[in-house]
């Protein structure tokens, strides 16, 4: 009888721990970044969206360099997105159409820093057609390997 109580207590506590665990949604992070850009708050809050290594590549005093923080400016309409997460690294692949009608794909790498998922690397690839869109998440470093 005592074993049954211990097993039930373990199952209940495990169930509660799983229930409280928050689902990670990298696309949601991307949308929050997009909103900050639209409200012209990206320079002020850049540390909330990008790793320090990504920001080291951007001259914050140069408006053209700041354009590197405006990832969504390249994408006119999102068609699909996929993510994968392994340990403290997440990858988000976003397929869409640029304002001029060209199909393109974003490949973003996120790093988990202090429980925040921050953009660490970003790559754009123009596609021949919508049929060439990837149908799974691909990390930018995986593109370099191919």
Check residue 36 and give its pLDDT: 81
Categorize the per-residue pLDDT at 143 as very low, low, confident or very high, splitting at 50, 70 and 90.
Answer: confident
- Top-confidence range, 5-9, 80-84, 100-104: 80-84
Q: What is the DSSP string of 90-128?
A: EEEEEEEE-TTS-EEEEEEEEEEETTEEEEEEEEEEE-S
> If one looks up domain 24-145 in CATH, what number appears?
3.10.450.630
Q: Which residue has the higher pLDDT, 23 or 122?
A: 122
Q: Where are the domains of the chain?
A: 24-145
Check residue 21 and give its pLDDT: 42
Mean pLDDT of 2-12: 43
Mean pLDDT of 3-29: 55
- Strand, helix or coil for residue 9: helix
Cβ neighbours for 117, distance < 8 A, ≥ 6 positions apart: 24, 26, 29, 90, 110, 111
Residue carrying the six token digits 């997105």: 81
Cβ neighbours for 111, distance < 8 A, ≥ 6 positions apart: 51, 88, 89, 90, 117, 118, 120
| Cα 107 to chain centroid, rounded | 9
| Percent of the chain with pLDDT strictly greater than 70 | 80
Reply yes or no on whether the pLDDT at 55 is more than 70.
yes
pLDDT tens readout for residues 92-130 = 999 999 988 999 999 999 999 988 999 999 899 999 998
Check residue 49 and give its pLDDT: 86
Check residue 16 and give its pLDDT: 40
Check residue 125 and give its pLDDT: 92
* Residue of 81, 86, 92, 76 lying closest to 26 (CA atoms): 92
- Strand, helix or coil for residue 50: strand
């Amino acid at each position: 009888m005592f074993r049954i109580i211990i097993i039930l207590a373990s199952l209940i506590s495990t169930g509660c721990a799983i229930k409280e665990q928050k689902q990670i949604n990298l696309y949601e992070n991307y949308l929050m970044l997009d909103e900050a850009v639209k409200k012209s708050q990206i320079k002020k809050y850049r540390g909330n969206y990008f790793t320090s290594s990504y920001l080291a590549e951007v001259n914050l005093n140069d408006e053209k360099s700041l354009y590197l923080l405006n990832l969504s400016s390249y994408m006119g309409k999102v068609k699909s997105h996929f993510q994968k997460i392994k340990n403290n690294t997440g990858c988000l692949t976003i397929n869409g159409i640029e304002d001029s009608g060209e199909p393109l794909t974003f490949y973003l790498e996120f790093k988990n820093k202090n429980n925040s998922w921050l953009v660490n690397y970003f790559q754009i690839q123009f596609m021949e057609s919508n049929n060439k869109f990837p149908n799974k998440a691909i990390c930018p470093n995986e593109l370099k390997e191919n």
